[in-house]
Amino acid sequence: MQSVGIPFFHTPGNHDDAAHFPFHETDPTQPTVIELGQWCIILLNSAQPKRIDGKIADAQLQQLTQLLAQQHDRHVLIACHHHPFAMQSAWIDQHKLKNSSDLLETIQPFSNVKAIVCGHVHQDSINTWQGVEFLSTPSTCIQFKPRSDKFALDEEHPGYRYICLKANGELETQVYRLPTSQRMSSSEVLGYD
C-alpha cells in the first residue's frame, strides 16, 4: 500500500495479531477517526485474540457514542472487519460480529451514520437497515460462495469496493473485479480460519 502512494488506513481482522500488525501507531483498542470534508470515517476493531468471530468491546461502543455526538455535523461511515448482518450462509454466519445488536443500538439514535462497511465474508453484499447501508466487500484473495451453508469457493475473481462519499451525505459504490484470478492451493484455502 505504501508503494501506491495514497493515504490508507486499516483495522484488524481475525487473522491479525494486533501486537505485530502496523496500525500507523494508533492503538487498535481505540476507534480510528478520519475526517474527510463533510464526512468522518470511524474504524472499529472487531477482532478478538485467537477467535474467528468478532466482537466490538463495550469501551469502543461507548467511545463510538461520544464520537457520533461530536461528529453530528458530519456524515459518518463506520468500518470493521466482521459482518454485522447474517449473510444467509451458515458456516460464515457462525463467525459474524456476535454483538451486532449492541452496534445497532449504539448507532440507532444518530441519523448521521450513513453506512457500515465490512470484510471477512469474501463476497459482495448490500443490506439496508433504518436508512443505514451495510456493505460487504469481496476479498483481494479467494471468494466465498454466497448463501452456501457449507464452506464453498465462488468462481468470482478477487475484487474491491469503490465508495464515493458525496458532500450531501449520499454515497455511490461499485465493486470492481480483477480480470484474472490467482487460485490458491487447497491447503492454503483450508488454512482459512
Nearest CB to Fe ion, comparing residues 97 and 165: 97
Q: Give the pairing of strands 171-177 and 159-165.
A: antiparallel
Nearer to Fe ion, 75 or 120 (CB): 120
Compare residues 53 and 110 and give the one whose CB is closer to Fe ion: 53
The answer to whether 42 and 74 are in contact (CB under 8 A) is no
Provide the minimum distance between the beta carbon of 117 and Fe ion in the complex, in angstroms, as a whole number: 14
**Closest CB to Fe ion among 13 and 31?**
13
Q: Reduced to 3 states, what is the DSSP secondary structure of residue 35?
A: strand
User: DSSP states of 85-108 as a string?
Assistant: S--S-HHHHTTSBTTHHHHHHHHT
Report, in Å, the least distance between residue 78 CB and Fe ion. Answer: 17
> Which positions lie near Fe ion, rule CB under 5 A?
13-14, 120
Distance of alpha carbon 189 from alpha carbon 193, whole angstroms: 9
Q: Which is nearer to Fe ion, 16 or 133 (CB)?
A: 16
CB of 53 to Fe ion, least distance (A): 10
Whole-number minimum distance, CB 156 to Fe ion, in Å? 17
Considering only CA atoms, which of 145, 143, 158, 124 is closest in space to residue 189? 143
Indicate the SS3 state at residue 59. helix
Contact 172, 163 (CB under 8 A): yes
Specify the residue, 74 or 95, whose C-beta has the smaller distance to Fe ion.
95
Minimum distance between the CB of residue 121 and Fe ion, rounded to whole angstroms?
Answer: 8
Helices then strands, counting H and E runs in the chain, come out as 4, 8
Q: What number of residues does the chain have?
A: 193
Least separation in angstroms between residue 91's CB and Fe ion is 13
Cell of residue 117, nine digits: 462497511
